[in-house]
Amino acid sequence: MFFASYSFLDWTRQLLAWCAPSLTNLCLLLSEASSVALRQFLSTTRLPSLTELDVTCTAGEANMTGTDVLFFLATHPSIQKLCLHGVQVPAGISPLSVIAQPFLPSLVEVTAHPIYIQWLLRNKEQCPRLKQVTLPTERYANRGCPFTYDMLDRALENLVPHSHKLDLIIFSFAKDHADLDSWLQSHIDAGPDASIPSSFIDTKRLRIDAEYSVKIINVPPRLELVAQFVGLFPNLQILELQRQPGLVNGRIPPMVQQTVRLYCPQVKKVTINGKDISEVEQSKEG
């Protein structure tokens, strides 16, 4: 899509208007664009059959505002799958307070910054069909602003009332932020009676994506922290560790299964980069 100049804005809107009745998927990759042009596009475009929306902002400064995005979402209740990456989150603004309800009644899967998750789910009646939530630890708005994990905690608190209907929760650790270990430790220190994960009594499946940048498997101290954190989900059955870096020839260190067994006895199945650990162990025994 062309948004860098107004000369392409009308052309883009005409193109989408022509195919609007049948257009189900829309993917916007924004590296350079006018925020005014984007606002006009989002406020005037109507795609009644839209079921999947993927927006990625890669510009040095986010050029699509959260308020504009939420307005677009509010006018497209048919959206079932939503992915927002790098989209600005304006501080101190609560757009949902001025948006009519219900909001995204058809949403099934969402990937978005924890602040968006917090906004989307702060009303317990929101998103009644939601089945999958991905929480990325990405920066937003000012790219020099680091991710802070208290935002993730607030999103998790809002997610708890919806957790009984979720099939999968995904933590996507996009960067190896310095305070990741301290965040994990804070929940471990809170213990099974006071930690947020302990409230997810209906969660059976959890995935942790390392995006091939955050080392977990081959760093024993962090592996223990992750295992203890996962162990706080009381009824978890399936743990998936995906996009894990540092696995030579796909080999999984024996300490991984030992650590998971020690701290997560409730977990029945562990998958690492698509490999079922139990299958690996059985092949070794055979």
Query: Does 22-276 carry CATH code 1.20.58?
Result: no
Which carries the bigger pLDDT value, residue 62 or residue 58?
Answer: 58
8 A C-beta contact, residue 39 and residue 48: no
Confidence band of 5 (pLDDT split at 50, 70, 90): low
Nearest to 77 by CA among 14, 37, 126: 126
| Structural domain boundaries in the chain | 22-276
- Strand ranges in the chain using DSSP code E only, listed in sequence order: 25-30, 52-57, 81-85, 109-111, 132-136, 168-172, 205-209, 238-242, 269-272, 275-276
Nearest to 79 by CA among 112, 104, 54: 104
pLDDT of residue 166: 97
| pLDDT tens per residue, range 112-128 | 999 889 888 888 888 99
| pLDDT tens per residue, range 60-110 | 554 677 788 888 998 999 999 999 988 877 555 455 555 656 789 999 999
Q: What average pLDDT does range 178-206 have in this prediction? A: 96
pLDDT of residue 282: 43
